[in-house]
């Protein structure tokens, strides 16, 4: 069985790189490198190292909701893309990696 990793990056929605949302820059990089898959999720509330709670309010538009980007790839794929991702994130977010087991075969 091939070993896979789940890479999770916690960001703020307003984080950007050269005018592009940071989560899009991360997904673009991972797709270009051929990783197995990735998704960005917008949270309804959260806080980070700055200790400020960001939340979605019905009557107030928040420009900095929490975003989590999850990337799945083989150990080798994640190791290859990690230096690029660390440059992109560059202190803007928290990066975690965990071992996972992929149940569904890749070619289905």
What does the pLDDT read at residue 30? 95
At residue 17's C-alpha, the angle toward residues 42 and 5, to 5°, is: 55
Please indicate, yes or no, if residue 55 is contained in any of the structural domains: yes
Per-residue model confidence as pLDDT tens digits over 27-73: 999 999 999 889 999 988 777 766 677 676 654 555 678 899 999 99
Please indicate, yes or no, if residue 13 is contained in any of the structural domains: yes
Per-residue model confidence as pLDDT tens digits over 71-93: 999 999 999 999 999 999 988 88
Please indicate, yes or no, if residue 90 is contained in any of the structural domains: yes
Interhelix angle 22-32/75-89, nearest 10 degrees: 150
How many independent structural domains does the chain possess? 1
Residue-range definition of the domain harbouring residue 17: 4-94
Please indicate, yes or no, if residue 58 is contained in any of the structural domains: yes
Please indicate, yes or no, if residue 89 is contained in any of the structural domains: yes
CATH number for position 47: 3.30.70.120
Indicate the pTM of the whole model: 0.83
């Amino acid at each position: 069985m091939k070993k896979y990793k789940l890479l999770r990056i916690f960001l703020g929605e307003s984080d950007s790189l050269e005018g592009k949302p940071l989560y899009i820059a991360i997904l673009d990089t991972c797709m270009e490198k051929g990783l197995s898959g990735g998704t960005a999720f917008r949270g309804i509330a959260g806080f980070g190292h700055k200790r400020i709670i960001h939340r979605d309010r019905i009557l107030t538009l928040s420009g900095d909701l929490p975003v989590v980007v999850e990337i799945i790839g083989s150990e080798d794929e994640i190791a290859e893309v990690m230096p690029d991702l660390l440059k992109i994130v560059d202190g803007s977010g928290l990066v975690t990696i965990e071992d996972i087991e992929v149940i569904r075969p890749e070619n289905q």
